Structure 1
Amino acid sequence: MNDSKTPSPQVPKPLSSQDPKTPRYTILVAGGSGTRMGADRPKQFLELLGEPVLLHTLRRFAEAALRVEQLVVVLPAEQFGVWSELCAQHQVQISHQVVAGGASRWASVRNGLAALAAPDGLVAVHDGVRPLASAALIERAFAAAETHKAVVVAVTPKDSVRNLAQRGSYALNRARLRLVQTPQCFDLDLLRRAYQLPELPSFTDDASVVEDICPIHIVEGDYRNLKITTPEDLVVAEALLRQER
């Protein structure tokens, strides 16, 4: 991490000396606000057991066993200084590159991809506010992407699901539905090709960007891999983190 207020682009050193079968990279997208949290700061900077949510997420992907060679954090440009100060405050030693986000998640991921100089490999795209992704979950996604090229982690809905109709609603078979999480892992060249196409309103995640050019493979997710969106999520995340310690 650059010590200046505005981190400058740089290629980080590998996070591990081990050589994976295929090079691995990660883009953490953290462009959210604290609106639904009712917070005084963006949710990626909220404290979770004394540390910013984003730092917890960063640490998950920096585990040596995962062998990620380059970590890119995508933030709004105006938040660079805040993140730099937080990294100094918490003595963050994890090598990563900070990149300015865009006007949408699609644009932010595209900017993150542009920061990867590698010609090939696998790339995981992950929400910066999902701080509980386990190493086992991340490894499952990377390993599946070796074979399937486009992978999402997802879980079966626990509750009954209904579809809104013109008159009333009707039940859906939840056994055939999945709640999609991140990380979503892709062949790097495939994801780059997908992001060369124009942005569409239907793009809600990276899988929706890729699905027209490659089938999306689903691997088992983790109910603990929650996304910090509301105050209740922060309470649950703290409880789960305490269980891990």
Structure 2
Amino acid sequence: MAAAVVPAAGRGERLGPGAPKALRELGGAPLLVHAVRALARSRAVGLVVVAAPPQGVAEVLGLLDSHGLDGKDIRVVAGGATRQESVRLGLAAIPDATEIVLVHDAARPLVPVEVVDAVVAAVRAGAEAVVPAVPLADTVKRVRPVPAGEPEPVLDTPDRASLRAVQTPQGFRRQVLVEVHAKALAEEAEGGSPVVTDDAGLVEHYGGQVVVVPGHEEAFKVTRPLDLVLAEAVLARRRASDGF
């Protein structure tokens, strides 16, 4: 069985003032509850570890218990000051015998179970790191950053046919994920730090191979208020059509 880590210790300031992003409500339940449910629906996932705000472990554990997430092994640990640290702390709570680990954003509450299964299957088939992703619909411009509010000069226009928007859960051979996090921690102790935004980026940074499997348009990340409105609409449609 695979295990999953859900880093949920961040505040998510772009969503506006209020509770930490993972605890914002969607259809009567926090985003975190939906994200954990999405993972728990997969028969391939036997354990979910949530890395909660350090002062909110008991609250998050009670929250998950109150929403009927039974039948799966769900654990809550104290997360860290950064996403990378939270993943590392969650990873430490997974038994050594577990060979496949998923890392999933708490802010992606509506990922379909078939995406979870596809990621696990790709790791089982031999990949060391797997990301679900979707093609880009918009033209992308690479720009030279300038002070906020000023026009940004365009440097070039990448061919979007070769670009993908990456989602989660991302899947890894456990030993690969443990090793890259250990290397990042050692690098940080020496005054450096790899500039990456996800765990697949760590694997790439240290020379590993990442592969892509098809993602899903409903696995989008809830980052801004408009995303929450869209998520409510998707959830309402699911409930009306199949009792989700």
TM range (shorter): 0.7 to 0.9
Matched, 1:183 2:169: yes
Cα offsets for 1:76-131 (capped at 9, x unmatched)? 11122332342354344353111111121111111111101233411110001110
Structure 1 CA distance, aligned partners of 2:115 and 2:82? Answer: 26
1:204 and 2:189 aligned? no
SS of the equivalent of 2:46 reads strand
Match of 1:4 in 2: none
Is 1:162 matched up with 2:148?
no
Q: Does 1:142 align with 2:120?
A: yes
| Count of residues in Structure 1 that have an aligned counterpart in Structure 2 | 222
What is the aligned counterpart of 1:67 among 44, 49, 74? Answer: 44
8 Å Cα contact 1:153/1:218 also seen in 2: yes
Alignment pair present for 1:242 and 2:221: no
**Aligned residue number for residue 14 of structure 1:** none
RMSD over equivalenced CA pairs, Å:
1.8
Cα distance change of structure 1 residues 240 and 112 upon mapping to structure 2, 3 Å threshold: same
What residue identity is the alignment partner of 1:49? G
Equivalent-residue separation in structure 1 for 2:227 and 2:215 (angstroms) = 17
* Cα distance in 2, alignment partners of residues 165 and 88 from structure 1: 48
Partner of 1:99: 77
Q: Residue 82 of structure 1 corresponds to which residue in structure 2?
A: 59
Q: What is residue 15 of structure 1 aligned with on the other side? A: none
Question: Is contact 1:66–1:135 with CA below 8 Å preserved after alignment?
Answer: no
Asked if 1:231 is matched to 2:225, the reply is yes
More helix by share: 2
Q: Does 1:33 align with 2:33?
A: no
1:6 match = none
Unmatched tracts of structure 1, length 5 or more:
1-22
**Counterpart check, 1:112 vs 2:90:** yes
1:217 aligns with 2:211: yes
Relative to 1, partners in 2 of residues 1:89 and 1:69: Cα closer, same or farther, differing over 3 Å? closer
Counterpart position of 2:188: none
Consecutive unaligned residues of structure 2, counting only runs of 5 or more, are 146-151, 186-192, 240-244
Q: Which deviates the most, 185-194 or 161-170? A: 161-170
Cα distance change, pair 85–174 in 1 and its aligned pair in 2 (3 A)? same
**What amino acid does structure 1 have at the position aligned with 2:220?**
L
Aligned equivalent of 1:193: 179
Deviation of 1:32 (Å):
2.2
Contact 1:161 1:174 in 2 (8 A): yes
The answer to whether structure 1 residue 43 and structure 2 residue 21 are counterparts is yes
Percent identity for Structure 1 against Structure 2:
37
- Give me the whole-angstrom Cα distance separating, in 1, the residues matched to 2:75 and 2:224: 28
Shift of 1:36: 1.3
